[in-house]
Structure 1
């Protein structure tokens, strides 16, 4: 199937185009350093997040693999810790059956890659028992029932999508798969181990096999027990395989994803999209393992893409797409056959006949090819350090850390477990990205712990306990501020305000105000790159974080930080929200207004004017669009306190007009109603 069209466009050899496309894809998909940082941060989050007793979770899919494509959803797998899937009874000896419920796989009547789950002892929690059906004289867990029970129970607004519950949180779409785990590698995938001669390397193979697999709640459409079968999932193995790719192989995978989205599936309805990203991933896996291309390097990027495309074309022609772990599982069986198969092959073969020029139809790839076509003598540098500046990399790094900072909790025991894990990690070998993300997440967990302790002992009436708790809380917040973001000082100010230490709070606010006003400060994507580089360029990320980075203030809805915001927290919590996310300058001005009312009323009005200008006129520099609902709400609260009822009413009405990111509309509506009876203090 090789042709001249596959190796060049006009007089331009494919090697030069490959380098240009490689550079373009590194800018769009990520440089080796960026991808490594993303993976290390997600790994750290998973390590800290899995300290709860009853369940475990794991990010999977594109996000876990290191992609940050703007339309990617967040895939997460959840499984209970007190259940284990086994493949035969001999494996039961490794478990204490008093603390683990064992589930036995029965694959005798299922297609390759699928299984039934039998409960031999018929003992389980209600959500599992209510998902069971009687078959062949035994109790089996029905995948369809389990999927329905878990999907609707966790979030009533979710919809079932394959084995997952799908929905949106803010601007992000998510897929949550509730599954079971097996500590053992499935017998049906044993041939994969024997096939791994050249790739992946032995240590990766051993790590994958040692970690077993999962079973997810969906059956084979052509199986005898579609509603009750479960599919074997190798998600953990897959992201470890993607981790073991070199960067050209990873970029090839990304190129195929874009090829699928922007060319193959472009203009098709969802029901007409027969190929998916998983097929692209499978093609890359097979191409690498079969050593089809001896050298995967930037100069061979398009050659690698062409190898994978031809493999896909072959699979569609034959109607067989072999699962990478269980080749007997033909992933085309239920969807790509008959007329659909013929039409898809014709479509792909038409693209194949265009040669590598077919990539000119992709908006994401086109410009990289045109650059070389317009300037054949162009020299392309593939060194990653020339592709992205220090400040640009740091923006992405700290955004990544902030977006995964979910360690805020109201559970003291979980805080203790996470802090214990952090203590153990400090002495272990960590990458530079592990260290800087661990530093920020430690600050976050200390902040949660401090407010949990304060809330626990405030109303005990035992002065000694209150004193000790106060001392510990204050110490933890000061410690967190020493190695967290610049904005983390505001947690100390909140604590002082909550404990009626208004002058001390104002002192912290003044110090924070100076730091937040520095011209080199980085807040989300907003930073003066030249001044930032001049101020902290070349320093460690730990130092940069402490001196030049600000983030939102996150208030866990189950904890009380500021009494005045309790209605908003309760409203958000009742509607499924976990926390309020407040821009640091909005919170700073709010606290300054609250504290000044007790010590300097003139100052309170001046600061309120600053807050009003900020919320009314900011264009996303200090107040993100998604956070405008809570920002208008806070302005309204401050105006109501000052007795300016009309201004407060306007602010609350503006809060209701914003995107309901925090789901605080109930609180806002109640505040509007209360204005009719409000008497200023």
Structure 2
């Protein structure tokens, strides 16, 4: 009997280890998750630093911010105005200058736990907030439903979006769904959540608790469905606190949370209509929080990830049976109250209990887990390695990191003053204790700032400055672009070539282009997912991320539409901007051949024809490796522009027509149609 029990335990342990490995491959290893969080941290610290004096703060929240990159994960962002602050009682007014801040008072007297009305004692708010006001009990209150509509009207002219819960929702880059929540912030911890502090004996650790409490909470624009003031109430949001809690989890706990999210999507909600999906990801997160804090499972490690999952599932089952899901911070807030009761509750419980009786084999119904379970069941002597350093290759990890850097390489510096403030902030951040992911993200953001500075400066003084001013500006711009070439991607050297072309230094530009051609032709170069793994590892394996970026990684060239780069792409930038798009994204080899052609026309016509031929071959025959499908609209467009300049009008017409047939990622269709009309064929 003992031998049988031991074998059973060994089998369960092996299955757990196999599922842990599967979750690492599906959700991310500790290094991958850390890189996702750290790059996001630096981008936010740069944008939201006090030095920037931004009127609002933007904070990513939700699954993407926590480190998940599951298919369908949307991008949640919270925005709040910095000169509006919410207080819980009048004594807290003393901490604010009322000439500079609109102070808003919570009135929770008639609201369910976790919800409140927001009262503006003095109507000092800006016009947007005032337009969302309603009169209640003789006072001026901010209506959540009106505020959602006001904020939607502000952003809807820039993009097509709709209201979803407390958020404006739409598609980012036409593919990724986003939810933007325009909210208010309080620097103070809610009195209704004070019991949470006393509950934190074992988890989270004291420094995390103090950090959470010190940073207060937010208020999102949605009321309780069963409250007395549904259209005017605001929900207390602990998104910032939840992010800190998720970061304080060990990796097994984080993967258990991910496992529950997949369990919900692939098993519980599979085949259900949207209106029948009563449980959501937030319920899963709450389950994990309570399970960890209640210490139901004392050890969370790869060998018992299934044990942790089962503890959470049983807790969820109990909540559905009782019809009570206590909010982690305000337990009196029953998150099942408005939708999981009566017949719906019974149906859900029956569904979950049927799964519960199946035992852990219920995970065999999930495409994410079934392979890892059956693999062990079919190979009982299989040895599972859970060392995260051996789970994915260095190349795959680097690809993931550089993808994150690209996603977070977005700043709003479109004038010199903003650029100066960003550089000042970079100087402050350098003094902080930084991880390798922080450092490389900061490195890339700095090169982006310098690139913008160089072209903004030149545009400012090209037509208005004296010769001496122009000389100084030119030296400074060249110096900044050379710095970006030292610290940025291999492809960032093309900004120098573009600048030389813009300033009529064609031979110097061609010298830079020749140098860049050699670097971009390196057999170990990584461009998006295109890389020779063995050669990359041999060339830069084990080196720092900063070195890899400089020596072995190429990326798209971004031309921001509010900054003028070269004449030949002005129409495309104008079209893109008119269609509410921030920039053109161009594959590096496409821009290299274009610049080679444009410069060679002035000094070597044979070379110009050769570069045009190379461009044509690349656009016509690349299989998505060097010209990703997403950027084929601009690639065909650039080929057409070069053909038109060379006098090949029929070829240009064909290229422009092909550009119109591609996915309109860069939103340049208006320019393409104009160019076709200008051909006069």
TM-score, normalised relative to structure 1: 0.97
- The question of 1:43 aligning with 2:41 is answered yes
Q: Distance in 1 between matches of 2:170 and 2:461?
A: 38
Q: 1:277 is matched with which residue?
A: 281
- The question of 1:418 aligning with 2:418 is answered no
Shift of 1:566: 1.2
Residue 591 of structure 1, aligned match among 584, 589, 595: 595
Shift of 1:396: 1.0
Unaligned 5+ runs, structure 2:
none
The answer to whether the 8 Å contact 1:409/1:556 transfers is no
Q: 1:458 is matched with which residue?
A: 462
- Name which of structure 1's ranges 468-477 and 374-383 shifts more when overlaid on structure 2: 468-477
The answer to whether the 8 Å contact 1:88/1:104 transfers is yes
- The question of 1:555 aligning with 2:556 is answered no
- The question of 1:98 aligning with 2:99 is answered yes
- The question of 1:523 aligning with 2:527 is answered yes
Q: 1:20 is matched with which residue?
A: 18
- 1:76-128, CA deviations, whole angstroms, 9 ceiling, x for partnerless residues? 11111111111111111111111111111111111111111111111221111
Relative distance call for 1:675 and 1:409 in structure 2 (3 A) is farther
Q: 1:128 is matched with which residue?
A: 129
Q: 1:288 is matched with which residue?
A: 292
Q: Distance in 1 between matches of 2:6 and 2:673?
A: 64
- 1:404-431, CA deviations, whole angstroms, 9 ceiling, x for partnerless residues? 2113631322211111111112222111
Q: 1:155 is matched with which residue?
A: 156
- 1:558-585, CA deviations, whole angstroms, 9 ceiling, x for partnerless residues? 0001121111111111111011111000
Q: Distance in 1 between matches of 2:156 and 2:7?
A: 52
Q: 1:142 is matched with which residue?
A: 143
Q: Distance in 1 between matches of 2:412 and 2:560?
A: 6
- The question of 1:31 aligning with 2:29 is answered yes
Shift of 1:672: 1.1
Shift of 1:441: 1.1
For residue 82 of structure 1, give the secondary structure of its aligned residue in structure 2: strand
For residue 679 of structure 2, give the secondary structure of its aligned residue in structure 1: helix
For residue 13 of structure 1, give the secondary structure of its aligned residue in structure 2: helix
Once the two structures are superposed, the pairs formed by residues 505-654 of structure 1 within 5 Å of their partners are: 505-654=509-658
Q: 1:391 is matched with which residue?
A: 395
- Name which of structure 1's ranges 30-39 and 300-309 shifts more when overlaid on structure 2: 30-39
Q: 1:448 is matched with which residue?
A: 452
The answer to whether the 8 Å contact 2:113/2:332 transfers is yes
The answer to whether the 8 Å contact 2:555/2:588 transfers is yes
For residue 354 of structure 1, give the secondary structure of its aligned residue in structure 2: helix
Shift of 1:461: 3.6
Relative distance call for 1:52 and 1:525 in structure 2 (3 A) is farther
For residue 660 of structure 2, give the secondary structure of its aligned residue in structure 1: helix
For residue 168 of structure 1, give the secondary structure of its aligned residue in structure 2: strand
Q: Distance in 1 between matches of 2:508 and 2:249?
A: 53
The answer to whether the 8 Å contact 2:85/2:104 transfers is yes
The answer to whether the 8 Å contact 2:11/2:380 transfers is no
Give the total of aligned pairs. Answer: 671
- Name which of structure 1's ranges 435-444 and 248-257 shifts more when overlaid on structure 2: 435-444
Q: Distance in 2 between matches of 1:72 and 1:430?
A: 28
Once the two structures are superposed, the pairs formed by residues 308-387 of structure 1 within 5 Å of their partners are: 308-387=312-391
For residue 146 of structure 2, give the secondary structure of its aligned residue in structure 1: helix
Q: Distance in 2 between matches of 1:99 and 1:464?
A: 43
- Name which of structure 1's ranges 607-616 and 406-415 shifts more when overlaid on structure 2: 406-415
Q: 1:66 is matched with which residue?
A: 67
Q: Distance in 2 between matches of 1:208 and 1:411?
A: 35
The answer to whether the 8 Å contact 1:9/1:356 transfers is no
Relative distance call for 1:210 and 1:334 in structure 2 (3 A) is same
- Name which of structure 1's ranges 386-395 and 306-315 shifts more when overlaid on structure 2: 386-395
Q: Distance in 2 between matches of 1:103 and 1:11?
A: 57
For residue 497 of structure 2, give the secondary structure of its aligned residue in structure 1: helix
Shift of 1:319: 0.8
Q: Distance in 2 between matches of 1:455 and 1:181?
A: 39
Q: Distance in 1 between matches of 2:244 and 2:340?
A: 28
- 1:428-452, CA deviations, whole angstroms, 9 ceiling, x for partnerless residues? 2111111111111111111111111
- Name which of structure 1's ranges 450-459 and 543-552 shifts more when overlaid on structure 2: 450-459
- Name which of structure 1's ranges 399-408 and 265-274 shifts more when overlaid on structure 2: 399-408
Q: 1:502 is matched with which residue?
A: 506
Q: 1:4 is matched with which residue?
A: none
Shift of 1:12: 6.5
- Name which of structure 1's ranges 147-156 and 489-498 shifts more when overlaid on structure 2: 147-156
Q: Distance in 2 between matches of 1:672 and 1:54?
A: 43
- Name which of structure 1's ranges 580-589 and 398-407 shifts more when overlaid on structure 2: 398-407
Shift of 1:52: 5.0
Shift of 1:169: 2.0
- 1:1-53, CA deviations, whole angstroms, 9 ceiling, x for partnerless residues? xxxxxx99989632111001001110111111111111111101111122352
Q: Distance in 2 between matches of 1:414 and 1:404?
A: 18
Q: Distance in 2 between matches of 1:467 and 1:181?
A: 48
Once the two structures are superposed, the pairs formed by residues 220-235 of structure 1 within 5 Å of their partners are: 220-235=224-239
Shift of 1:391: 1.4
Q: Distance in 2 between matches of 1:8 and 1:631?
A: 62
Shift of 1:593: 1.1
Unaligned 5+ runs, structure 1:
1-6
- The question of 1:175 aligning with 2:179 is answered yes
Relative distance call for 1:568 and 1:351 in structure 2 (3 A) is same
Q: 1:83 is matched with which residue?
A: 84
- 1:203-226, CA deviations, whole angstroms, 9 ceiling, x for partnerless residues? 000000111111011111111111
For residue 368 of structure 2, give the secondary structure of its aligned residue in structure 1: helix
Q: Distance in 1 between matches of 2:564 and 2:220?
A: 38
Q: 2:492 is matched with which residue?
A: 488
- The question of 1:403 aligning with 2:401 is answered no
- 1:319-347, CA deviations, whole angstroms, 9 ceiling, x for partnerless residues? 11111011111111111111111111111
Q: 1:118 is matched with which residue?
A: 119
- The question of 1:212 aligning with 2:216 is answered yes
Q: 1:249 is matched with which residue?
A: 253
Q: Distance in 1 between matches of 2:609 and 2:543?
A: 40
Shift of 1:387: 0.5
